[in-house]
Amino acid sequence: MSDTPIETIDTLLESVEADVDDEALGFKLRTARQLLLVLRERETVGQEALEHADIDPETRDQLRELGYLE
């Protein structure tokens, strides 16, 4: 599975949102999905910063193994 945890959570919330008739619950689910967008953006910015950082090759390899870099 190539989905990130954020994408998986968003997919789950989206499917629940589609089944919910209660407006208040729908609002909470949409809000949670919007917060996931913020997290995704922060993750992207952080990864880009790491890509451009002056990091020694060994540390860069360790970050790649941990999934922080592609």
Q: Say if residues 3 and 11 touch (Cβ distance below 8 Å).
A: yes
The pLDDT value recorded for residue 32 is 97
Longest pairwise C-alpha distance within the chain = 53
Is 52 part of a structural domain of the chain?
A: yes
The boundaries of the domain holding residue 61 are: 5-65
Q: What pLDDT sits at residue 50?
A: 86
Whether 46 maps to a domain, the answer reads yes
For residue 46, is pLDDT > 60? yes
Assess if residue 59 is contained within a domain. Answer: yes
Number of domains comprising the chain: 1
Tell me the torsion sign for CA atoms 33, 35, 38, 43: negative
The pTM of this model reads: 0.74
Contact by Cβ (8 Å): 54, 66: no
Give the C-alpha separation, 36 to 15, whole Å: 15
Is residue 12 in a domain?
yes
Q: What is the CA radius of gyration of the chain?
A: 17
In a domain, 70, yes or no: no
